[in-house]
Structure 1
Amino acid sequence: MVSVPPLVAGIELGGTKIVCLLARGPDAIEGRVQLPTERPDETLAAVERVLDGWGRFDALGIASFGPVSINRDAADYGHITSTPKPHWAGTDVAGRLARRYDVPTGFHTDVVGAALAEAKWGAAKGLRDVAYATVGTGIGVGLIAGGRPVDGLTHSEFGHIRPARLEGDDWLGLCPFHGSCLEGLAAGPAIGARAGCKGEDIAADDPVWEPVAHVLGQLCHTLVLTGVPRRIVMGGGVMVGNDHLFPRVRAAMVKSLAGYIALPEIAEESFIVPPALGSNAGPLGAIVLGTQALENRLKAFTAF
């Protein structure tokens, strides 16, 4: 007998839009609704109207923009914390929805969700040790080891590392916290500010891409040194549609590592790749988070 995967409601909560998905997997999507991200109360109320309309589901997964609290023992677990997005700091997302629907609820960052989905169904299918980096309005990385998020005190914040700069590059950067951290140098708004135009209008041979590829290579250098990823999937608005960046970033990473990690696969094209799930990577990641929460609940029951 073939078992039917659970029906899971997944929510990808992004800075500008929300995607609600009702699915058993990428080939069994029963509902998909996109909403604008507005103030917290009206946004979460709109999400609840969608989920209420879907009726019963087995689990709920939430993949959210951050920073978020993922420590289940903390009073603010499931909250968005120190985000610069107006009105959202301190918002209880997971607690509010878990109380309303009373099903196993998984909660993590949107990049961890995307990493889980790409590892299960997408560009890193079959690999249990993966990094997913999104380079868009912001920069974030989700790390997966053994099929599970790499968590500790909190989730990773690789977008705010301070990369080694190209010689002579002293641009101050745009990050309100750190100025010239990775996000302040290579996120979409930073690239546009440097180039003086919208990102989609920047030609592939524009010199602005050289320092961008250099610092993104520093990101991949750092990820390699964690010892975790067997593949790095790079998505987000900066990477998608700019295929010329992938060989540049790969070359910058290899040059930066300078032969220290003597593994030939790191220099191969298959080590740094674009996502395969497109706009559904985040929502499908929320489905994986919900499924894992359900599995954890069942394990807890069978342990007694």
Structure 2
Amino acid sequence: MDSAAPLVAGIELGGTKIVCLLARGPDDIVDRVQLPTLHPDETLAAVERVLDGWGGFDALGIASFGPISIDRTAADYGHITSTPKPHWAGTDVARRLGTRYAVPTGFHTDVVGAALAEARWGAAKGLGEIAYATVGTGIGVGLIAGGRPVDGLTHSEFGHIRPARLPGDDWVGVCPFHGSCLEGLAAGPAIGARAGVKGEEIGADDPVWEPVAHALGQLCHTLVLTGVPRRIVMGGGVMVGNDHLFPRVRAAMVKSLAGYIALPEIAEDGFVVAPALGGNAGPLGAIILGQQALAEQRMSFTAL
């Protein structure tokens, strides 16, 4: 525990719940509060009540469901953009909270937050280049290189790639934008829709898992081809509790790559792994986003 480390308020804004964390790191968590994700006005007011009650902190980090605008020069920076979640499209999150608390504020996707935390403290500890994929209600990927998010025009949206299909599989998928994209085929709602039962009721030997593993193998194939991750961490409600998926996804990835990337570690069990931080990965990632925003401000002051 380092009492000299900055005290950061971290917010993981998820589609169904929000976790507010006041911490310096995983070994120094001062408070943790969980809230439901409701209408944006009600939800953000509840978050503000929590942060107001904490009093002073040095920085703020927000890891949010998306899509979001992360371009600081854009008029809609800090907003949730084209989400299908009712009422949330166009909601200002980062500017609203950053202005209210007047501290350096980091803002990125929830999967980037989880990737940062798993790279620093979790299943990819010590690796500067990783991918974190969440497979749950939706599918998203956070890419980290050199310990920082891989960004450009916007954040990645690997959940909406169009994977190669298994021969004879013409199921239409459930994505409202793309039908049979990765999320439309392998996210929790898609699995339930195809199987006709809730995901937790599906046995490991159910045939529905074959096309799911195939699609997720296509995701890992794509991530390998970016040349970035030294490890792929896969979490979310579909992966957690379904350990049988990991060897199937690894095998589908290796088969799909067909020997093109001749690196033996890709075929090893330690390349595609489960997360280590559990439900604190996203909130701890928000703490790192706040730490990085504070460090950037200090560097800019030093350069003056």
TM-score band by shorter chain is over 0.9
Structure-2 residue corresponding to 1:247: 247
Q: Give the Cα separation in 1 of the matches to 2:36 and 2:130.
A: 30
Give the deviation of 1:4 after TM superposition: 2.1
Structure 2 counterpart of 1:87, one-letter code: H
Gaps of at least 5 residues in structure 1 are none
- Percent identity reads 86
Secondary structure of the residue aligned to 2:117 is helix
Q: CA deviation at 1:64?
A: 0.2
Q: Secondary structure at the match of 1:23?
A: strand
State the Cα distance separating 1:81 from its structure 2 match: 0.1
Where in structure 2 are the equivalents of 1:214-229 lying within 5 Å? Answer: 214-229=214-229
Q: Quote the residue 2:182 is aligned against.
A: 182
Which residue of structure 1 lines up, in the alignment, with residue 170 of structure 2?
Answer: 170
Q: Which residue matches 2:83? A: 83
Q: What are the superposed Cα offsets for residues 178-211 of structure 1, whole Å, 9 maximum, x if unpaired?
A: 0000000000000001111010110001000000
Q: TM-score, normalised by structure 2?
A: 0.99
Measured in 2, the distance between the counterparts of 1:209 and 1:84 equals 26
SS at match of 2:107: strand
Q: Residue 121 of structure 1 corresponds to which residue in structure 2?
A: 121
State the distance in 1 between where 2:154 and 2:106 align.
15
**1:265 matched to 2:282:** no
- Give the whole-Å Cα distance in 2 for the aligned partners of 1:7 and 1:25: 9
> Is residue 194 of structure 1 aligned with residue 184 of structure 2?
no
Q: Cα offset for 1:295?
A: 0.4
Residue of structure 1 in register with 2:295 after alignment: 295
TM-score scaled by length of structure 1 = 0.99
Task: Report the Cα offset of residue 287 of structure 1.
Answer: 0.2
User: SS where residue 21 of structure 1 aligns?
Assistant: strand
How far apart, in 1, do the equivalents of 2:47 and 2:211 lie?
40
Q: Supply the distance in 2 between the matched residues of 1:191 and 1:3 (Cα, whole angstroms).
A: 46
Shift of 1:224: 0.1
- Quick one: distance in 1 between partners of 2:280 and 2:224? 26
Aligned alpha-carbon RMSD (Å): 0.7
1:136-175 superposed matches below 5 A = 136-175=136-175
Q: Deviations over 1:228-280 (max 9, x none)?
A: 00000000000000000000000000000000000000000110000000000
Shift of 1:3: 7.1
Aligned residue identity for 2:221:
H
**1:128 deviation in Å?**
0.4
Offset from partner CA, 1:69-110 (integer Å, 9 cap, x none) = 000000000000000000000000000000000000000000
Please say if 1:277 is aligned against 2:292: no
Q: Does 1:94 align with 2:94?
A: yes
Partner Cα distance (1:66, 1:116) in 2: 17
Provide the rounded CA distance (Å) in 2 between the counterparts of 1:4 and 1:124.
26
Which residue of structure 1 lines up, in the alignment, with residue 67 of structure 2? 67
Number of aligned residue pairs: 303
CA distance in structure 1 between the aligned counterparts of 2:39 and 2:162, rounded to whole angstroms: 32
Matches of 1:27 and 1:201 in 2, distance apart?
A: 36
Partners of 1:175 and 1:49 in 2: how far apart? 35
Report the Cα distance in structure 2 between the residues aligned to 1:25 and 1:150, rounded to whole angstroms. Answer: 22
* Counterparts of 1:179 and 1:148, CA distance in 2: 32
Q: Deviations over 1:147-175 (max 9, x none)?
A: 01000000000000000000000000000
Counterpart position of 1:53 = 53
Structure 2 stretches of 5 or more lacking a match?
none
Q: Aligned pair 1:286/2:278, yes or no?
A: no
1:5 is displaced (CA, Å) by 1.4
Per the alignment, in what secondary structure is the counterpart of residue 24 of structure 1? strand
Residue type of the alignment partner of 1:240: V
Write the letter of the residue equivalent to 1:106.
Answer: G
Q: Amino acid of the residue matched to residue 32 of structure 1?
A: R
Matches within 5 A, 1:4-43: 4-43=4-43
Give secondary structure in 1 for the equivalent of 2:38. coil
For the residue of structure 1 that corresponds to 2:228, the secondary structure is coil
